[in-house]
């Protein structure tokens, strides 16, 4: 892609990372690791790929997004705020009793959230229902869902994989954030769900493996998905958990805790340094 | 005696007939012939989707369809819709308050020979505890049909419970002006000595029990609480004030079922003795339905016996 576009997307992704840290820091809890790992994917979906309008978040013909790994709500909220669905300042209310920003996505209260998720394995099923609905009505809208690699240990993910292929839901794209870590440790040690590519292929999906932090690869994969007929597409996105924050990268303990003030400052400083390089 | 027909047949007939008038989709999990969604499938093959033996995914698919504006029925045996998929229903359908009608057929003991693994005695209790969920348990095929039309005009998630075993289709002859209204119980018979509150399969047995009691000079009021939630506490309390004693009759666990709901209602408003007929804290078992009903005490005689006891408790107060 053009250098200017790449630069612009990279800036957005970095700002989304800053938003994630601000939200989780102010909440004093939450899930930064798996939020940071999907910043480029969320950026590309909401700023390039999806047909959406923040001023009309309930447009029946909009593309749909389902965050199946709902615990990374900070990434979704950070992206929605950046895209203009609600003020960036509201991110600081995340998880607070008076806030509409629930710990896991709530479609009833958050503008731009298309499905309530949080219980792993369920979002991809809802995404299948949405994709089927679009097809039944002859609508052009597409459905995107982001799954966790640990989440793929849930049997329901594979029930949904079977369903999507059976009903030829080629308007559905499932992006699996392969960051390699889950709460109890590396996915291959806790309960090895790999190889994801071979599994999805065996279920009848079009499968593409990419670097989750490379916009060119994200773009190419999503174009490939659009051009694929008769099969849903799975994008296996190899990522770094905690990406962008030095001490969080590939560190299991940052799956589900917030940094205290000293480490918060380090995180913001890390991300501001990256921002400097994108000027 | 009225014609015997299973409530699942009323459900299947309703889907097939109302499919012409209403715009909705039907999902099933490889049980279309048994749940009777097959009647709809035959007539509207393009609006029917088999999800295979994967009930959790089916509930998620139903949620996704509903989130894009579709009205959906998602059917399986009660054990697998309300039971196996409880958490999917709670989080993907209940929490976002989506327009999904969850259907559980083959509920409880009257499943018969298939036995305990398929006899769900807990579905109503499970569904009732989901905030915003409407829960309906029709008494006969006519009421089952009416319930389907009612939920098509209702906004929000519903659970509908139907049975496998034929039950006398009493509604047309007993209630010529019958009108189904969600949340409104029906007084089948007025009485003054004791109130029998029943739902589902037990309603016709409650009427038989009232006949037995009548022959002994006892006047029993019989109420059909077809909507388990929202529970018509007003009707039950008003009847309790009149008769001073209640017997509940349900084909469901007495823990968390109709008996519990009736106790909650009267305890808070007008405490009277409440005796419960239903499945005690036990699993089901294989057998012929009439034998199982005897074995589990789901009989008119047992309802009548409990009624006599409830009346005696009232006088010894």
Please report which confidence band the pLDDT of residue B314 belongs to, taking 50, 70 and 90 as the band edges: confident
Q: Mutate one of A125, A139, A161 to test the B interface: name it (highest B CB count within 10 A).
A: A125
- Mean pLDDT estimate for chain B: 97
Residue A162 and residue B56 in contact, taking contact as beta carbons nearer than 8 Å: no
> What is residue A140's predicted lDDT score, i.e. its pLDDT?
87
> What is residue B316's predicted lDDT score, i.e. its pLDDT?
64
The answer to whether A128 contacts chain B (CB < 8 Å) is yes
Which of B222, B165, B169 has the alpha carbon at shortest distance from B192?
B222
Residue B159 and residue B247 in contact, taking contact as beta carbons nearer than 8 Å: no
> What is residue A216's predicted lDDT score, i.e. its pLDDT?
98
| DSSP structural state of residue B228 | E
A:72-111 residues touching chain B, CB 8 A cutoff? 106-108
| Cβ-based neighbours of B174, under 8 Å, separated by 6 or more | B188
Architecture in CATH of B4-168:
3-Layer(aba) Sandwich (3.40)
Q: How far is A108 from chain B (nearest CA, A)?
A: 6
- Mean pLDDT estimate for chain A: 98
Please report which confidence band the pLDDT of residue B63 belongs to, taking 50, 70 and 90 as the band edges: very high
Q: Which residues of B touch A155 (CB under 8 A)?
A: 56
CA distance A219 to A45: 9
Q: Which residues of B touch A133 (CB under 8 A)?
A: 64-65, 68-70
> What is residue A35's predicted lDDT score, i.e. its pLDDT?
98
> What is residue B259's predicted lDDT score, i.e. its pLDDT?
98
CA distance B291 to B281: 19
CATH of residue A62: 3.40.50.970
| The token pair that represents B204 in the structure block | 């016709």
* Chain-chain contact of B92 with A64 (C-beta, under 8 angstroms): no
Per DSSP, helices labelled H in B21-122 are 32-35, 38-43, 55-67, 78, 86-88
CA distance B231 to B228: 5
- Classify strands B194-198 and B186-189 as parallel, antiparallel or unpaired: unpaired
How many domains is chain A partitioned into structurally? 1
* Segments of chain B assigned to CATH 3.40.50.970: 4-168
pLDDT average, residue stretch B61-79:
98
Please list the active-site residues of B. 55
| DSSP structural state of residue B2 | P
Residue B151 and residue B236 in contact, taking contact as beta carbons nearer than 8 Å: no
Of A64, A126, A163, Cβ closest to residue B51: A163
pLDDT average, residue stretch B29-51:
98
The answer to whether A138 contacts chain B (CB < 8 Å) is no
> What is residue A60's predicted lDDT score, i.e. its pLDDT?
96
Q: How far is B57 from chain A (nearest CA, A)?
A: 5
Q: Pick one of 3.40.960.10, 3.20.20.210, 3.50.50.60, 3.40.50.920 as the CATH number of B183-312.
A: 3.40.50.920
| The token pair that represents A18 in the structure block | 């800053």
Nearest chain A residue to B63 by CA: give it. Answer: A126
Torsion angle defined by CA atoms of residues B28, B29, B34 and B37, in that order, rounded to the nearest 10 degrees: 10
* Segments of chain B assigned to CATH 3.40.50.920: 183-312
The answer to whether A167 contacts chain B (CB < 8 Å) is yes
Q: Which residues of A touch B66 (CB under 8 A)?
A: 129
CA distance B105 to B82: 10
Q: How far is B108 from chain A (nearest CA, A)?
A: 26
A79: phi then psi, degrees, rounded to nearest 5: -70, -45
CA distance A223 to B212: 74
CA distance A125 to A197: 19
Provide the residue range defining the domain that includes A42: 3-277
Q: How far is A66 from chain B (nearest CA, A)?
A: 10
Q: Which residues of B touch A114 (CB under 8 A)?
A: 67
> What is residue B315's predicted lDDT score, i.e. its pLDDT?
67
Q: Facing residues of B279 across strands? A: B253
Of B51, B67, B97, Cβ closest to residue A130: B67
The model carries a pTM of 0.97
Say which residue, B149 or B314, is predicted with more confidence. B149
CA distance A230 to A33: 35
Q: Which residues of A touch B64 (CB under 8 A)?
A: 66, 115, 125-133
Which of A278, A235, A252, A135 has the alpha carbon at shortest distance from A185?
A252
> What is residue B55's predicted lDDT score, i.e. its pLDDT?
98
Q: Which residues of A touch B61 (CB under 8 A)?
A: 125-126, 128-129, 132, 160, 163
The interface predicted TM-score (ipTM) is: 0.96
Regions of chain A short of the pLDDT cut 70:
none
CA distances from B147 to B155, B226, B227 (A): 14, 9, 9
B248 membership: H or E segment, kind and range: strand B246-253
Whether B317 has a pLDDT exceeding 60, the answer reads no
């Amino acid at each position: 892609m053009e250098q200017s576009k790449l630069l612009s997307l990279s800036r957005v992704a970095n700002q989304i990372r800053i938003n994630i840290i601000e939200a989780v820091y102010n909440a004093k809890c939450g899930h930064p690791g798996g939020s940071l790992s999907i910043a480029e994917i969320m950026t590309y979906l909401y700023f390039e790929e999806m047909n959406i309008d923040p001023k009309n978040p309930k447009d029946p013909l909009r593309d749909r997004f389902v965050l199946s790994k709902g615990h990374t709500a900070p990434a979704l909220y950070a992206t929605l705020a950046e895209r203009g669905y609600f003020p960036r300042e509201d991110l600081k209310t995340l998880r607070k009793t008076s806030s509409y920003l629930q710990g896991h996505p709530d479609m009833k209260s958050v503008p731009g959230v298309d499905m309530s998720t949080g219980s792993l394995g369920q979002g991809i099923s809802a995404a299948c229902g949405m994709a089927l609905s679009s097809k039944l009505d002859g609508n052009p809208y597409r459905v995107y869902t982001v799954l966790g690699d640990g989440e793929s240990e849930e049997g329901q993910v594979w029930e949904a994989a079977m369903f999507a292929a059976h009903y030829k839901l080629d308007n559905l794209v499932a992006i699996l954030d392969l960051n390699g870590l889950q709460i109890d440790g590396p996915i291959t040690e806790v309960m090895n769900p790999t190889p994801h590519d071979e599994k999805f292929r065996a279920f009848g999906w079009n499968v593409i493996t990419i670097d989750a932090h490379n916009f060119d690869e994200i773009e190419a994969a999503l174009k490939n998905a659009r051009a694929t007929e008769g099969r849903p597409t799975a994008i296996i996105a190899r990522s770094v958990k905690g990406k962008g924050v030095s001490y969080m990268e590939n560190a299991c303990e940052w799956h589900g805790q917030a940094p205290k003030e000293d480490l918060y400052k380090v995180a913001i400083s890390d991300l501001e340094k990256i921002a400097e390089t994108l000027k | 005696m009225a014609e015997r027909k299973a409530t699942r047949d009323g459900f299947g007939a309703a889907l097939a007939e109302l499919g012409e008038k209403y715009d909705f989709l039907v999902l099933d999990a490889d049980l279309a012939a048994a749940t009777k969604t097959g009647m709809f499938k035959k007539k509207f093959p393009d609006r029917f989707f088999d999800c295979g033996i994967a009930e959790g995914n089916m509930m998620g698919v139903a949620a996704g369809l509903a989130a894009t504006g579709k009205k959906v029925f998602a059917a399986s045996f009660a054990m697998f819709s309300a039971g196996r998929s409880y958490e999917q229903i709670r989080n993907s359908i209940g929490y976002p308050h989506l327009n999904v009608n969850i259907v559980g057929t083959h509920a409880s003991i009257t499943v018969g020979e298939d036995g305990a693994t398929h006899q769900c005695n807990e579905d109503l209790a499970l569904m009732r505890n989901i905030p915003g969920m409407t829960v309906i348990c029709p008494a006969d095929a006519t009421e089952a049909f009416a319930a389907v039309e009612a939920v098509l005009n209702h906004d929000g998630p519903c659970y509908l419970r139907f049975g496998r075993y034929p039950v006398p289709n009493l509604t047309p002859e007993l209630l010529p002006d019958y009108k189904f209204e969600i949340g409104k119980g029906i007084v089948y018979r007025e009485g003054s000595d004791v109130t029998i509150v029943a739902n589902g399969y037990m309603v016709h047995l409650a009427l038989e029990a009232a006949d037995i009691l009548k022959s002994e000079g006892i006047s029993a009021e019989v109420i059909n609480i077809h909507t388990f939630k929202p529970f018509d506490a007003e009707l039950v309390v008003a009847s309790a004030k009149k008769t001073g004693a209640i017997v509940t009759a349900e084909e469901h666990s007495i823990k968390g079922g109709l008996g519990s709901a009736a106790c909650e209602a009267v305890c808070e408003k007008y405490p009277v003795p409440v005796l419960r007929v239903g499945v005690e804290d036990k699993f089901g078992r294989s057998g012929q339905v009439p034998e199982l009903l005897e074995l589990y005490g789901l009989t008119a005689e047992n309802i009548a016996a409990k009624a006599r006891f409830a009346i005696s408790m009232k006088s010894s107060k």
